[in-house]
Amino acid sequence: MEDGVEFNAADAQLDLSQGTPRFYIMRLRDKDLSFERITFHARITQCLGALGDASWYMAVGAPTMKVASRPPPTTNELRVFKVPPGTFVKMHAGTWHAGPLFQSDDALLPFVDFYNLELSDTNQVDHNAYDYGEEQGVAYDVAEV
């Protein structure tokens, strides 16, 4: 949006009250458009966006806030979004997600840098994951979801 526009209901409503916010650039390498593992963060909203001109993908499912007692989303419950360059995505607390996903090409696209806004300890204390490959022997491809 243009500079000077005041905060309003169209803005992402963030909850970073559970700890120290961490805004950083993460470099992801050797990615493709498949995933076996899906994750959620119960304590925070999370924001992601890519630097540069590459589109990327994110598979998401509705929050369950549980790993063991309620399985994560099935293929029919997942939605995959192609995220265009210049777009910053906000996920609600508890949103199951796999990605960012993109097709690495060693010559043309060896890595993509992503903005990431979460808490300083998100990956240590609020990283709830389910491994489809380990539990069900499957891997999902973005084209299949």
Mean pLDDT score of the chain, rounded to an integer?
87
> For 46, phi and psi rounded to 5 degrees?
-130, 145
pLDDT at res. 89 = 95
pLDDT at res. 23 = 96
The DSSP secondary-structure symbol of 5 reads P
pLDDT at res. 16 = 85
**Residue 98 falls within a domain, yes or no?**
yes
Q: Identify the CATH number of the domain in which residue 74 sits.
A: 2.60.120.480
Domain residues for the domain of 60 are: 21-144
First to last CA, the chain: 32
Average pLDDT per run of 10 along the chain, which is 145 residues long? Answer: 89 89 94 90 93 91 80 86 93 94 76 94 91 71 65
Spatial separation of the C-alpha atoms in residues 143 and 92, rounded to whole Å: 24
Spatial separation of the C-alpha atoms in residues 81 and 86, rounded to whole Å: 14
**Residue 6 falls within a domain, yes or no?**
no
**Residue 7 falls within a domain, yes or no?**
no
Spatial separation of the C-alpha atoms in residues 20 and 122, rounded to whole Å: 10
Counted domains in the chain: 1
Tokens of 51: 């630097």
**Residue 123 falls within a domain, yes or no?**
yes
**Residue 1 falls within a domain, yes or no?**
no
